[in-house]
Amino acid sequence: GVGVVSFNFNSLHPLDVGTLIHKEGVAIRSGHHCAQVLMEKLNVAATNRASFYIYNTKEEVDVLIASLQNVAKVFKL
């Protein structure tokens, strides 16, 4: 199966989150994901999106979680 999770991180801009996570070696998407109307309806500028598939490992998910924890640490959240 395919898993896609869209999220925002407190009040941080998704591009800032995506940039920090990228520096940890994790690839996520940040932006409006071709859903501008939905973003307007939700009153958000953009979101982050992580995608998972059968080839992803538990260790890769752990790296994503650690990178999100690092974002919280950097921004003192």
- Which residues are designated catalytic? 34
* Buried-state track 13-30, b at ≥16 Cβ within 10 A, e below 16: ebeebbebbeeeebebbb
- Cα torsion 11, 15, 16, 19: sign: positive
